[in-house]
A and B are shown apart, each in its own frame.
Chain A
Amino acid sequence: MRRRQLRERTIEAAITLVALTGIAAVVLIFVFVAKEAIPLFTDPEVREEVDLARMFLPQVYREGRPPGFLWQPVGSVPKYSMIPLLVGTLKVTAVAMLVAAPLGVAAAVFTSEFAPRRLKEILKPTIELLAGIPSVVLGFFALMVMASWLQAAFGFTFRLNAVVAGLGLALTVVPVVFTVSEDALAAVPRSYREASLALGATRWETAFKVVLPAAAPGVLAAVVLGFGRSIGETMIVLMASGNAAITSWSLGDSVRTLPATIAAEMGEVVFGGAHYSVLFFLGVVLFAFTFVLNALAAAFVRRFVRKVTGAAA
C-alpha cells in the first residue's frame, strides 16, 4: 500500500514539474531575447555606434541639415532611429484595426444574435477557417492580388504601402476579434435577452442595447487581442508593405514595421555587433508590447466573467 502511494506521489510530482515548462518558456523567451540586447547598454564598442538616445531622439546626420529620423543600419555611418519603424508599425496597425475591429464585432453580433441556428453552425467554423490560413499565404495574396486591386482603385504611387499591408493584416485580425467577441456575446445569460424582449424591445434593440453592452468587456478584450496580433504579425507585412523605412503619416507611402525589420535584417547581421543587438532590442520592445496587451485583455475578460456570473447568481 505504501509503495502504491509513493508511486502516485512520484507521478504527481513529475507531472507538476512538466507543467512548469510553460512558465519556463515565457521566462526564457524574455531572458534570452533581452540578453542579446544588453550590449546596447554595456558594450563600449556597440555604444560607439548606437545608444538609446540615438534610437529615439532626432539626429543631425549631415552638417547644416535639420535633424531627422533615419533607419539605415547598413552603411559607413549606420543610422538606427526607431521612429520610422514605430510610425510604420502604427500606420499599418491602425489601418488593420479600423477595418478588422468593426468587421469582426459586427460579424460576431450577426452570428450570435441574428443568424438562424443552422447558419450559425456553418458561419462560425467558416470564419475560424480564415484563422487557419498560414500568414505567408495571406501575405502572398496581399502582395500578388490585393496590391493590384487597391492600386487600380486608389491610384497609389507605390504599389506596396501601408493600406495594402494593413488590409492584409486585417485578414488575420478579423478571425481573432470574431471568435473572442462571439464567445463573449454567447456567454451573456439568456435571461438578459428574455427580459429585454419581454419589456417590448425589438430583437435589434436587445442585441445592441442589452447584449452588446453586457458583453462589452469581452468584446474589448477581443479588440485588444486583435491589436496585439496585428503588432506582432510578420510575414504579411514583410511581403506587402514595401519595407521602406520612411517617417511620414501618409498611408500611401511604403512602410517598414518592427517585426518585418527583424525578419528582413537578421539574416545579414554580424553576430554580437551593434545591428544584431538593436534587432534583439526591437524583439524586446515587441515582446513588451504584446505582454502588456495580453495582460490588459486578461483583465477585461476577468471583469466580464465577474459581471456575467455575478448577475446570473
Chain B
Amino acid sequence: MSVSRRKILGTGLASLTGAAALLVVGMLAVILFDVVRGGIGRVSWEFLTAAPEDGMTAGGIFPAIYGTAILTLVMTVAVMPVGVLTAIYLHEYAPKASRLAAAVRSAVTNLAGVPSIVFGLFGLGFFIQFVGGGLDRAFSPPGELRYGQPALLWAALTLAVLTLPVVIVSTEEALRAVPRDLRDASLALGATKSQTLARVVLPGALPGILTGAILAVARGAGEVAPILFTGVAYFLPDLPGSPFSQFMHLGYHTYVLATQSPDVEATRPLLYATVLVLLALTFALNLVAIAIRTRTRRRAAAGH
C-alpha cells in the first residue's frame, strides 16, 4: 500500500471510531434535551409536594417520590452491611487461592447478570410466598394474609439482592485503594486484624464505600421490573404506613402514564415532568458517585 493510501485509510478509520463515540454522546444529549424540554415547564414546588388528582391528569407526584425514597432507604439498610462484609471477606480475610472466595466471586458476577425481571419472580416466589406465607402460617389468624402479599419490605429486599454486586464491587475497589503500609503499621503497633479493619482500613475506604451506596441507590431507584409483582401500586390514597403496605414509585408511575393512559395528550406534560424528576434524581446520584470515585482514584494513584 502506498504511503498516502495508508494515511487516508487510517484517518478514515480513526474518524469512524470518533464518529461512533460522538453518536453515543449525541444520543445521551438528545435524551436529556428532550426530557428537560418536555418536563421543565411542569415541574414546580406544587408538583413535587402534591398528590395526583383527576385520574393522574392533574396534581403532583409526591406519593411516588416518597415511595421511591422509602423503598431505596430500606433497600440500602439491607444491602450495605451484607455487601461491605462480603467485600471485607473477599479482600481482607480470604486466603489467596481460596476456593470459597472464588465461588463467592463467581456467584456475585452471575448475580449481576441475572435479568431484573427474574429478580421480580424471585421476590414473588421467595419473599412473598415462602417467607411472607410462612410468617402468615405462623402468626396470622387462619385465612388472613398479613405478610404473604406484595409489600414495601419485600420489594426493598428484592432490590437489595439485585444491588448486592454493585456494593461488593465498589467496596472491594475502595479496600484495594487503602495502602498496605497503613495496615502493616497498625498491626505492628499491636492492633488485632479486626481492630485494624475497624479503625484504619474502613475509615480509609469510606469514600469508596459511600460511592457503592450511592450507585446502589441510583440503580435501585430506577429499577421497575423487580418491583412489579412485589409491592408497587399505581395509585394509593395514603402514603405507606408500615413495611407491609404497598407503595407508589416514580419509575412505575412513568411506565403506567406512558403505556396505559386513556388520554395521552392530557397526561403527556405530567409524564415528561415525572421522567424529569426521576432522571434528575438518578443522574445527580450518579454524578456524585463518579466525582467521589475520580477523587479517590486520583488519591490512590498518588499514594502508591
Contacts and interface: CB of A to CB of B under 8 A. Distances in A.
Interface of A: 4, 7-8, 11-12, 15-16, 18-23, 25-26, 28-29, 32-33, 35-36, 102-104, 106-107, 109-111, 113-115, 123, 125-130, 132-141, 143-145, 171, 174, 178, 202-205, 207-208, 225, 228-229, 231-235, 238-239, 259, 262-263, 266-267, 279-280, 283, 286-287, 290-291, 293-295, 298
Contacts of B282: 132-134
A213 B268 CA distance: 48
Nearest to A235: B224
A294 B93 contact: no
A22 B111 contact: yes
A16 B117 contact: no
Contacts of A207: 14
Contacts of B101: 19
A129 B285 CA distance: 11
Given A8-B193, A259-B225, A28 B126 contact: yes
Contacts of B259: 143, 238-239
Nearest to A280: B121
Interface of B: 6-7, 9-11, 13-14, 16-18, 20-21, 23-25, 27-28, 31, 34-35, 81-82, 85-86, 88-90, 93-94, 100-101, 103-104, 106-111, 113-122, 124-126, 130, 161, 164-165, 168, 192-194, 218, 221-225, 228-229, 251-252, 254-255, 258-259, 271, 275, 278-279, 282-283, 285-287, 290, 294
Contacts of B161: 25, 29
A28 B218 contact: no
B21 A115 contact: yes
A290 B109 contact: no
B25 A23 contact: no
Nearest to A29: B122
A107 B27 CA distance: 13
A36 B125 contact: yes
B279 to A, nearest CB: 6
Contact of B24 (A127, A136, A234, A262): A127
Given A26-B107, A103-B23, A228-B113, A204 B14 contact: yes
A33 B13 CA distance: 47
B120 A263 contact: yes
B66 to A, nearest CB: 18
A113 B15 CA distance: 12
18 contacts: A8-B193, A22-B165, A29-B114, A107-B24, A111-B21, A125-B290, A129-B28, A135-B223, A137-B35, A143-B258, A171-B31, A228-B113, A232-B113, A233-B115, A234-B115, A235-B255, A259-B117, A263-B117
A12 B93 contact: yes
